[in-house]
Amino acid sequence: MFSAATYAARRAELCRRIGKGVILIPGNWEAPYNYPNNAYHFRQDGTFIYYFGLTLPQFVGVIDCQTGEATIFGNDVTVDDIIWMGPQPTVADLSAQVGVRKSFPLSALAPYIESVVKSGVEIHYLPPYRGQTTLLLCSLLGKTPEEVYRDKSVELMFAVAGMREVKSAEEIEAMERAFHIGYAMHTTAMKMCRAGVVEREIAGAIEGVALSYGGGLSFTSIVSQHGETLHNHNYDGVLENGKLLLVDAGGESVENYCSDHTRTYPVSGKFTDRQRDIYNIVLAAHQQSPANMKAGAMYMEEVHRKALVILAEGLRGVGLINGSAEDAVAAGAMYLFMPHGLSHGMGIDVHDCEGMGERSYDFSAIAERAAQEATCVHRATWRLRAGTVMSNEPGIYFIPALIDKSRSEGLYRGIVNYDKLDSYRDFGGIRIEDDVIVTESGGVVIGGDKKIPVTVEELEAVVGK
Ligand code: GLY
Ligand code: MN
């Protein structure tokens, strides 16, 4: 947790940006796994963490923009709770730690919101991404789930994203701590990698590293010899010489700041010529992209697209693409090889601020607003700011189903060399990922001089050793 002054300053700035009305920020509730008292690992909502700092379940924060006053609603534990959870600080004590002077039990929240609604003062809230939060908002606001979603505050979405995506020095320090957890996770995986090991042994070991160094995983690890499946959470594979292992994994610092790194390396510890050729194409895009991550750059055109051109250039070099790299990118042919974005925001959430945007929200209705605000909530219109942290994750994947579909639909004819591509059907996929801080002059990779092994030589020196 940061100082009370940090949270107070953030809330004051949010009030300044929103101007009027009441801002309602629900924290997360416990999410039961199979019965109420057996819950998933608790993860607080990122926006609640940012403005209210508390990482315990069942709190709601309110900020009145008229007065600038913040209130936390939550229940003190009872003796029954203490039997199971041990003694806990009071809600008033917890609130004081984050600079909030007023706190009330949860039962006071509904009457408070009702009085705000009756007075005609606008209530700002973010689009919920969890069912429990949707139900809470429905009951507080007297709306159906569809109405809750429809009436979300677009002003609040962009104000929150605009603040969260520019990191302060203390946030960057927390992200550096998350990097060190990621470093330990990835180097552990590299050393364990050898034929006969089951993917889940590595997945389990690195999850243990994340927990022992900090707050646990920042997302479900991907440990797979099927790197062409972008989010592959199956760990049944037994490692085989000749195959590539892709590990995409990150940890959270104890302050809930995240890291997200990917490395891909040969199970045998030695790249084949073909694996090295494709690897070095991805590495070129990975190494050249941070220079494009400058304050003011438009993400899609100046960062993502330029990385695709580097990848296309490399694929041309190995005969998988004909004609110019620019033409291949313009034709959309790189979707066949990298059907995902180069970057996403990083911070308290591993896809920072996407709880209120990207795939969960239809931006067509507010396209102009999204372009004007240009935050990471909508990557298509994202303008980078100094202090933003973003992933840099180029990849090349050979996805048989996608290759077959494109070919049968006659897509990218004359550009993609489908006959040659057929010989890569069982290649798998390669992704290389680090986290980068945007500055005025370009991106700085988090971790400083300490780098997770990334070149062919560095990987061959550590894998299986
Ligand atoms: N590391 C998983 C992702 O970026 O989606
Ligand atoms: Mn990522």
CATH code for the domain of 98: 3.40.350.10
Residues 218 and 358 in one domain: yes
143/233 same-domain check: no
Residue given tokens 């980068």 in the structure block: 436
Rounded-to-integer distance, Cα 62 and Cα 84, Å? 29
Domain termination site, one of 127, 152, 177:
152
Helices (H) and strands (E) in the chain, counts: 17, 15
> What pLDDT does residue 401 have?
98
- Tell me the average pLDDT of the chain: 97
pLDDT of residue 162: 97
Q: Are 209 and 181 in contact (CB under 8 A)?
A: yes
Under 8 Å between Cβ of 235 and 199: yes
According to the model, what pLDDT value does residue 433 have? 98
**Would you say residue 418 lies in a domain?**
yes
Domain identity same for 347 and 420: yes
In this structure, is residue 162 part of a structural domain? Answer: no
Give the Å distance between the CA of 434 and the centre of ligand 2: 8
The pLDDT confidence band at residue 362, using thresholds 50, 70 and 90, is confident
Interval 206-236: pLDDT, tens: 999 999 999 999 999 999 999 999 998 999 9
Instruction: Name the band, by pLDDT with cuts 50, 70 and 90, for residue 314.
Output: very high
Q: Is residue 277 part of a domain?
A: yes
Backbone angles phi, psi at 266, to 5 degrees: -80, 140
pLDDT tens digits, one per residue of 107-154: 999 999 999 999 999 999 999 999 999 999 999 999 999 999 999 999
Same domain, 130 and 181: no
Distance CA 25, CA 136 (A): 11
Tokens of 339: 């059907």
In a domain, 164, yes or no: no
* Residue 305 lies inside a defined structural domain of this protein: yes
Any domain includes 341: yes
Q: What angle do CA 366, 300, 47 make, to 5 degrees?
A: 55
Residues 277 and 363 in one domain: yes
Are residues 300 and 348 located together in one domain of the fold? yes
The CB of 260 under 6 Å from ligand 1? The reply is yes
pLDDT at 51: 98
pLDDT recorded at residue 281: 99
> Looking at the domain assignment, is residue 158 inside a domain?
no
Task: Show Cβ contacts of residue 150 under 8 Å, excluding neighbours closer than 6 positions.
Answer: none
Any idea what the CATH number is for the domain that residue 229 is in? 3.90.230.10
Domain residue limits at 27: 4-152
Q: Is the CB of 354 under 6 A from ligand 1?
A: no
Q: What is the DSSP string of 54-84?
A: --SSSEEEEEETTT--EEEEEPPP-HHHHHH
pLDDT tens for each residue of 12-71: 999 999 999 999 999 999 999 999 999 999 999 999 999 999 999 999 999 999 999 999
99 and 205 share one domain: no
Does 184 lie in the same domain as 89?
no
Residue 161 domain-assigned (yes or no): no
Among 152, 182, 214, give the residue marking a domain's end.
152
Instruction: Let me know whether 138 and 177 are in one domain.
Output: no
pTM above 0.95, yes or no: yes
Total domains present in the chain: 2
Mutate to test the pocket of ligand 1, among 206, 224, 231, 359 (most ligand atoms within 8 A of CB): 231
Question: Are 227 and 139 in the same domain?
Answer: no
**Are residue 120 and residue 213 in the same domain, yes or no?**
no
Reported as half-sphere exposure (CB side, CA atoms, 13 A), residue 378 has a value of 19
Ligand 1 mean position, distance from CA 373 (Å): 24
Q: How many CB atoms lie within 10 A of CB 451?
A: 12
CA of 370 to the centre of ligand 2 (A): 22
Regarding whether 323 and 252 lie in a shared domain, the answer is yes
For residues 55 and 15, the answer to whether their CB atoms sit within 8 Å is no
435 Cα: distance to centroid of ligand 2 (angstroms): 8
pLDDT (mean) for 284-294: 98
